[in-house]
């Protein structure tokens, strides 16, 4: 057990309170040392804050609610680069918002589950780097999209692209030359050609200042792991420390579900929101047409494939060829 506390940063609005609560519960279940959680927000009221404070009754956690001022909101030209809300940019203001006495902090997206202790990661040697993060699924050129042009000036230095859902910050080092305005100036320099705005800016600014850690351990994209690596519930439960439900949210009913989502529900079951989250997910699953459309498209594609097979079978038969 470490004597120093873990300093964790999240950025949310009111819609994400319950999902953040699930993520925090999962982290606290695997943490024995004190945890200080810094909640960056624009709209949480006293009742919202009290919701999080209920976790202090069961775990060694202290909450700090930090209201993000207008001066630390991105300009419209930056906001126009994507459909994401302002909360996505709050991590760019961590050096501006965090107490000066905090030298290290971990930022986590709230659509994650902490499935094992993060002590080894949080207290790791950063080896002189200013941040630690995990490589994105496609992290090296060619990307096949706007990143090939945007990051081209960095390729000669061996550029690798990371996901901003898990970032460990050396705040002491970053405060010397990095602030929210640093990223906004960079966005202007790049002529606002960013599409994953906070992530693109972090990658550009810290392209040579990042310690890359194992993405299968500390930022495992659940859907990609299921589809690409054929990981299932037991594999993920045993091996992944931080699981990221970045694309398909377990609490939504607008897509085809898969069994590694059960890990998220295992932790949701430990919260007072479990029943209502489950009910909402079920209702959307029953009423949303996305899954039916997906199945209909699959059936149509299958019919087209069968028609092609029958056509070629007939051609082979006409030619006297048998297989």
pLDDT digits (tens, 9 = 90+) for 179-215: 999 999 999 999 999 999 899 999 999 999 999 999 9
**Residue 95 token pair:** 């050096």
Task: Report whether 118 contacts 157 (CB < 8 A).
Answer: no
Q: Which residues partner with 250 through β-bridges?
A: none
Task: Report whether 74 contacts 184 (CB < 8 A).
Answer: yes
C-alpha 178/C-alpha 95 separation (Å) is 7
Q: Dihedral angle at the C-alpha atoms of 210, 213, 217, 218, nearest 10 degrees?
A: -20
- Provide the pLDDT confidence category of residue 312 given band limits of 50, 70 and 90: confident
C-alpha 139/C-alpha 135 separation (Å) is 6
C-alpha 316/C-alpha 101 separation (Å) is 77
* Model pTM score: 0.91
Place of tokens 């501006």: 96
**Longest pairwise C-alpha distance within the chain:** 82
- Of 244, 115, 226, give the one whose Cα is nearest residue 167: 244
Q: What are the pLDDT digits (tens) for 235-284?
A: 999 999 999 999 889 999 888 889 999 999 999 999 999 999 999 999 99
Mean pLDDT, residues 205-228 taken together: 97
DSSP state letters, 196-244: SHHHHHHHHHTTTSEEEE-HHHHSEEHHHHHHTS---HHHHHHH-SEEE
Q: What are the pLDDT digits (tens) for 75-123?
A: 999 999 887 889 999 999 999 999 999 999 999 999 999 999 999 999 9
C-alpha 162/C-alpha 213 separation (Å) is 10
């Amino acid at each position: 057990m470490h004597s120093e506390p873990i300093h964790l940063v999240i950025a949310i609005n009111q819609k994400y309170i319950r999902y953040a609560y699930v993520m925090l519960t999962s982290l606290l279940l695997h943490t024995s040392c004190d945890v200080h959680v810094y909640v960056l927000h624009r709209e949480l009221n006293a009742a919202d804050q009290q919701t999080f404070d209920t976790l202090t009754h069961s775990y060694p956690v202290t909450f700090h609610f930090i209201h993000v001022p207008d001066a630390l909101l991105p300009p419209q030209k930056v906001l126009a680069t994507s459909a994401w809300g302002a909360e996505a940019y709050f991590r760019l203001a961590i050096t501006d918002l965090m107490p000066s006495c905090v030298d290290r902090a971990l930022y986590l997206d709230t659509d994650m589950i902490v499935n094992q202790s993060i002590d080894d990661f949080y207290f790791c040697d950063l080896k002189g780097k200013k941040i630690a993060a995990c490589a994105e699924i496609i992290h090296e050129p060619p990307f096949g999209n706007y990143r090939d042009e945007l990051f081209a000036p960095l390729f000669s230095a061996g550029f690798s692209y990371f996901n901003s859902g898990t970032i460990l910050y050396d705040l002491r080092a970053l405060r010397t030359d990095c602030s929210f305005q640093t990223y906004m100036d960079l966005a202007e320099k790049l002529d606002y050609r960013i599409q994953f705005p906070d992530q693109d800016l972090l990658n550009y600014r810290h392209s040579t200042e990042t310690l890359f850690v194992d993405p299968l351990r500390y930022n495992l994209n659940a859907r990609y792991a299921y589809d690409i690596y054929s990981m299932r519930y037991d594999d993920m439960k045993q091996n992944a420390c931080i699981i990221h439900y970045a694309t398909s949210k377990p609490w939504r009913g607008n897509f085809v579900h898969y069994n590694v989502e059960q890990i998220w529900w295992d932790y949701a079951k430990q919260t007072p929101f479990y029943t209502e989250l489950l009910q909402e997910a079920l209702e959307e699953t029953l009423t949303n047409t996305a899954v039916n459309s997906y199945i209909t498209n699959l059936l149509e594609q299958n019919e087209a494939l069968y028609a092609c097979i029958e056509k070629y079978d007939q051609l082979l038969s006409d030619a006297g060829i048998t297989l």
